[in-house]
Amino acid sequence: MAEDRHTTKNAPSDQPATRWYNSLEWRMYLRFTVMLAIMIVGVVWVLLHSGGAILRQSGNRYVEAAGNRLVANALERVAQTEATAYAMARTAEALSADEARLLRVLGETLRSGVERRIIAGGALYLDGPSPRLWTWKRLPDGTLRRMDPAAAGGQGLNAEWRLAVAHLPPGIAYWTVPRMDETTGAVLIACAAPIYRDGECAGAAVCYVDAASMDAQLEHALPVGEGYALILDRRNNPISMPPDVSAALRDRAAQPQSARRPSAADLVQAYPAYQPVFAAAAEVNQDIRTQVKWVMAGNEDLAAALAAANDDAPDQPGQLAMGMALDVLSEETRASKLLGRTTIADDPILKAPAVAAVFHVPRAYWKVVLIVPESLVAAPGARIAARILVTLALVLAVPLIVVLILLRRDLIGPVRHMSRYLMGLTETEGDFLQGMGERAPNELIELANAFNRRTDALRAANAQLRKEIEERVRAEEALRRSEARFRNVLENTRDLLYELNLRTWQYEYISPAALQVTGFSSEELNRLGARQIADRIHPQDRFLVSTHFKRLIAADGDDAAEATSSQVEYRWRDKNGAYLWASENRTIVRDATGAPLALVGSSRDVTERKRSEQEMTRMRHYLQNIINSMPSVIVGVDREGIITLWNLEAARVTGRDAQEAEGKPFDQVFTLLAEVADKVFDAIRSGEPLESERFVMENRDGELHYHDVIVYPLVANEVEGAVIRVDDVTGRVQIEEMMVQTEKMMSVGGLAAGMAHEINNPLGGILQACQNIERRTSPQLPKNRAVAEEAGTTIEAVREYIERRGVLEFLHGIRADGARAAKIVADMLAFSRRSESHFAPCRLDDMVETVLRLAANDYDLKKHYDFRRISIRREYGPNLPEVRCDKTKIEQVLLNLIKNAAQAIAEEEKDVTPEITIHIERDGRYVRIEVADNGPGMDEDTRRRVFEPFYTTKEVGVGTGLGLSVSYFIITKQHRGAMSVESARGQGARFIIRLPIDPER
């Protein structure tokens, strides 16, 4: 939607001005000229720079080669001299005991060296309490003579080496500066090697080198006219120079002491032109000193000693000397090397400008100075360069010019002709070949022909184009209409459509529906920008949306269709600040490489839908809650009996949760229902609700439970199936049973009350009649005797008769049965009486004790079994409260229970000791009394009926069948307590009574 703000205003295409220098011809001339110039400049530059460098290097190489040769010569001499000195030192070490022999051997060694012109003499210095010095000198006749030992400290040439050697390790020699031998006048340089005995320096072996002997070597070192060389000692004083040079120097200097070698200062004084040479040599020394300074520390005494040992004793030679003495300088310094280079403006010997190069001679620390005429180094290079330059210029320039001329004739001319013709050409037919000229090259003629053909083709194409343009105009019109249609759709659709550029994060387009959906107009949204729009997403949905977006971006595109385009629903804060639910379809537009370009989305306000969805969800949860809160098992099934609903109670009862149950046949999951499966299907088929009451099922613990099963068929809205409701009514059934029991008793009570009078009267008659019969047949009553006599018999006879005929027993029977009947009536009457007048607080344990005493003396009990055989266990809990009750009634109940227990035990002879356990404990607001026996117990049927009136297991005449029901009545009705029994066949019975501590409360 962001408009392209970079609308470029194309400047009206000006006709390029036809200036003369713009012509092909002139451009060609110009470029050729420039090219030529660049070439020449390039060649000159190359020659001047790299070429010069190359030439100079070749000169240097010449100088270096000559220098290295000279250094090698010098080094060879140094090495030979050092070798001789080492040999002498080893000999002195070996022959320390025999001094005479040592001197002889050393003499031989030196003689051999002198004869080979390597050395010019030698010396042996032995240190000790009386140091001695022997010296061998070469005499002018060439023989070697040994001087007698000088006194210690005597000058053997000079003692410079003596101190240095003391610090040198074996195998290192020390070179001194040149000295003139007073005896022979020769200038000698000493090379001293230390002699070690028992690890300590014991002296030195010395060889002398004659400086003059090196002059001859230098004379022929270089060809005549190609320069000369000097050798300088470590203090830069000349050791050796070619004889012609020294002669010239001598002439020039006109020194009074001709024997003395000229010093550096002399030389410079004589020829100031040498100044730079010695300056360069001094620089070399400076470098060495710089390095030596690093090892100065700790050896300052040595440095000072060495400085003192040098006769002219300046500081610098001292340091140099130490450097040599310690031999610390690096290999680099000790290597033969071109160390410095300088020029001499006007060499005094060569009489021309010269180049001077300073080389280093290792070990002796000499310097070889090579002076070569400059012409020999630089001149040949310059000459060659000039020659190359001219040749190159010619070789490059001539072909260039020729090419230029040919090009002008063969190409530019015809092209110019053709262009003139083309310029003048109108739309009328023409021929490019006209005026082309005979010498036009084939290519141009072909070109002209091609132009001709092309012109014809163009004319045809022109016509074709015109036709096509007309068609295109029509097509564009159609396209415009179509686009307008689409735009119309876009603008009018209720969905918010947008395109977000993913590179700039700017919206390219936002449809006008934005106003309706968000309250913001398209322009306002555009101004808000992607960032703020994203910020308006509900915080809880942000993660969802961003995750969704990242997944979209990450999706490969060819992965799956849904990956590049998918739906996301989120809440968005609209202009009013209210959250709306947006359902958005997002598509990522990608470029050819798959990189995301834009996000295209269509967003719909689904707030209404969401709200109703939420309402529905809430409603569903509500209903689910209701269903789950039901104490009934509620199971929904479809018409095939597959479970579709399974509430919590169902899960609790079956032990299977909804996930497990749903989707399975109900009779498989809820096996208890398998028996009613047919009824369920009947209900579904018939559409009639179906009830199945008091359905007895055994639960998981094996207890029998009563269930009401109700099947409601579902008929509404094409939902077929049924809802099965299962209620566990065991508790209710039990209560109902109890109520029935009580009602039975109450009716018995009511009946008895009505009947009692009517039965008691005849019973009274029967019983009283019996008593009268007994009395009136008794001999004790005087009236009987009188009446008997009146009747003509005696009372004794009557009595005897009655007794003989068993009439008395019959009478006893009548009386006993009458009494029994009277008891039944009295018991029945107990059900109707409800007087609480006798209620008083009593201790139950006391009452139990009373009852136990009663039982022990009970006539009926005694008749059948010995109560004392039974062991009574008393379990009386602590803190038993007094219970407000009718003492007589409760005692009646307890006696009844205990007698029952005793009778039950007596029924069966067992190995186990008969035992009655009486347990009393407080149980909240109640007191719990349990009477348990270990008798045969009772089966389930008996247990259920045991409180029923007239139900008895005793033989006829033994019990009335009312004892337990009366007890039950007394406890539950009169005392508002509870009474139950636990028993199973073979496990004894346990009667449990719960009496409220205060029945009024």
Interface residues toward other proteins, by CB under 8 A: 752-753, 756-772, 775-776, 781, 783, 815, 818-819, 822, 825-826, 829, 832-833, 835
Write down the least CB distance from residue 814 to other proteins, Å: 10
Closest CA to 843 of 797, 881, 800: 881
Residue 388 vs 769, nearer CB to other proteins:
769
Name the residue nearer to other proteins (CB basis): 342 or 777: 777
Q: Which amino acid is at 56?
A: R
Is the Cβ–Cβ distance between 495 and 603 less than 8 Å?
yes
**CB neighbour list of residue 102: distance below 8 Å, 6 or more residues apart:** 91, 92, 95, 96, 124
* Closest CB 778 distance from other proteins, rounded Å: 10
| Closest CB 823 distance from other proteins, rounded Å | 11
Q: How far is the CB of 776 from other proteins (least distance, A)?
A: 7
CB atoms within 10 A of CB 802: 18
Between CA 910 and CA 916 the distance in angstroms is 14
Alpha carbon separation from 66 to 153, 159, 221, 315, 358 (Å, rounded): 43, 36, 8, 33, 12
Name which of 329 and 766 has its Cβ closer to other proteins. Answer: 766
Radius of gyration (C-alpha) of the chain in whole angstroms: 73
Helix/strand/coil for 565: strand
- Based on CB atoms, which residue is closest to other proteins, 10 or 835? 835
Taking residue 761's Cβ as centre, other Cβ atoms within 10 Å add up to 10
Cα–Cα distance measured from residue 869 to residue 345, given in angstroms and rounded to the nearest whole number: 158
Least separation, in Å, of the C-beta of 996 and other proteins?
Answer: 24
SS3 labels along 388-443: HHHHHHHHHHHHHHHHHHHHHHHHHHHHHHHHHHHHHCCCCCCCCCCCCCCCCCHH
Taking the complex as a whole, how short is the minimal distance between the CB of residue 966 and other proteins, in angstroms? 14
CA dist 69 and 215 (Å) reads 15
Task: Output the CA torsion 814→815→820→825 (10° steps).
Answer: 100
Q: Judged by CB, which is closer to other proteins: 325, or 970?
A: 970
Considering beta carbons, is residue 382 or 781 the nearer one to other proteins? 781
Quote the least distance from Cβ 822 to other proteins, whole Å: 5
For other proteins, the closer of residues 359 and 831 by Cβ is: 831
Angle at 908 between CA 902 and CA 913, to 5 degrees: 65
Instruction: Tell me how many degrees the CA angle 60-64-66 measures, rounded to the nearest 5.
Output: 120
With left for phi above 0 and alpha for psi between -120 and 50, is residue 548 left, alpha or beta? alpha
Name the residue nearer to other proteins (CB basis): 248 or 824: 824
Q: Which is nearer to other proteins, 830 or 920 (CB)?
A: 830
Rounded least distance, CB 825 to other proteins, Å: 8
If the CB atoms of residues 462 and 768 are measured against other proteins, the closer one turns out to be: 768
CB of 755 to other proteins, least distance (A): 9
Residue (502 or 770) nearer to other proteins, CB: 770
- Least distance in Å: CB of 753 to other proteins? 5
Pairing of β 579-590 and β 596-605: antiparallel
Between 533 and 763, CB nearer to other proteins = 763
* Single-letter amino acid code for the residue at 996: P
Query: In the complex, what is the shortest distance from the CB of residue 802 to other proteins, in angstroms, rounded to a whole number?
Result: 17
Name the phi and psi angles at 921, rounded to 5.
Answer: -150, 160
What 8-state DSSP symbol labels residue 186?
-
Query: Smallest distance from the beta carbon of 756 to other proteins, in angstroms?
Result: 4
Give CA–CA dist 338/757, Å, rounded.
163
